[in-house]
Structure 1
Amino acid sequence: MRAVQTDWVDTFLAIAHHAGIRSAAHALHLSQSRVSAHLAALERVVGVRLVARGPRGAHLTPAGDAFLAHARLAVDELDAAVAAARDRDRSSARVGICLPVPPALLAAIEWPAGVRPSFSEISADAVDAALQSHAIDAALEPVIRRPGPSDTQQVLWEETVVTIESALPWPPADSGPVLVVASELPLLLAADYPFSGTPEPVAHVGIVLAMVAAGQATAVMSEGAAPPPSPRFTASIDDRAPRLRYGIRASVDGPEWVGAVTCRRSPVRAIPERVPQSGSGGAVFAGAPQRVAV
């Protein structure tokens, strides 16, 4: 069977909608002879009469009525296929996120025009396999190693590591202050830094700062999460640690847009302005937006 051309079907649908050759020609911006030629070609392929002409215009035959319903579905499906292909081309950025990322940082990422990423959680151990199998197009993760020969990695932003200690003359504990880090800062926990002791994760930044203020701990934090120096806290840059870096990584044969991703300077998170006194059992926190260095 000879293939049915889509412009023939469009012409047939216009004739059915406007109930006439002349009206269909006007709607399609075609000549009446071209419309008649399209209809004749379609009827030759189908093998039956689809449109009957009369003194009051054109109307569909019973065969034309049967053809109409399927023709509409076919055109709708074709339009949906074109739209899906175009949308897939624009939104093919499947980005795996290895560690929890503050929403403000995600909002600060500028994607190239036409790229609309979709995010999913992925473990750091699964990134390599996911990139190689093209299950994801890129990964948003800490930059704690050099890219391998099969991938490329671009740094989006970085932060300095600071050490927070109590500014008050607390007597040291028998074993000395412990080194703590908030489990809300997974980038610090994931990295392998040459500290004298392994940081112990604590549930919340506010609890970490309360422990420091009470002289119970020394905290290792990112600059964006650390409080400013005050009568309670002293902060110093830890020269032993590299800067914390987040980046986006893709396989070398991955999408070309990876190299065009940037990050604006943007507020990152709200940190406590007030911390609970030791043994108070709770506190009210007020946000103080910090900024990330990029």
Structure 2
Amino acid sequence: MSTTNAACEGMYSKLIDDSPYDDLNHRPDVGPSAHPVSPVRVIPRPSGPGIYRLATICLATLCAILLISIIAVAAQNKNKSQGGGEETSEIQKQTQDKNVSALVASISKLQEEKKQLQKEKDELQEKLAAKSATKAPEVIKLTTKATPAISCPVDWYLFNSSCYYVSRVTRDWAESKSYCESQGGHLAIILTAEEQTFVWGLLPRGHWNAFWIGISDEQTEDHWKWVDGTSLVGGFWEVGEPNNHINEDCGYIVKTRVMERVAIRSWYDAPCSMNWRYICEKEVGPGTSTAMPH
């Protein structure tokens, strides 16, 4: 700074020394022989280093102020630029969140619609099977002079050419099988959805109302057979059944208070030693009407 001040002072002094006003006292036409000239008032020049230092300080201050202003403007522009970028990113994020939320909502709606359609499908299948089941006895009961009507014993219910009995007592699977055989029948053999729906309609609802039917895989695991020795084809198992959880070799039907349960998915497997109620079936011919004990 002192070097700069000295340079400025030297330059200023040189400018003053070269000033044309200094020639007033040395003009060639001014002398003792020349015409007298009115004296010129000479304004004293400022002298001393103080004035130059002041000027230097002022210039330096102005430069500093200008530099600070430039830095402040640049920083403000940068902040605005960054702020604009952050705002744009935030808007994009909000838009993406909205799109994801809309997509999730659409998926949930489709899942609900699928569930509702499945429920309606099951209900329609039940109604169709029930309609077929109710119509069949009416056709069988049509009589002519050559063909007498088919009837079932008390507490037995007719479907097609079979009568079905639902017990009020519990027995294990082998005892249930023996009882049905003692009544001239067998544990129920269910081959069609219509027959399954008819039998399901005979069963009362309860917490866990279970009824043995004539199916087991005691002889060969996972090879289910009916009591007449024929192999099972298809069936009406609940999802995940049969699972042979604890040596479960005999099949049964469950009907609970849960209204979502349907006839065509109601079979389970269980240990044959458990005591359940049971369903007997007896094929009958024209004119059959024999009372049987409960």
TM-score by length of 1: 0.25
Structure number, greater radius of gyration: 2
Q: TM-score of the superposition, structure 2-length normalised? A: 0.25
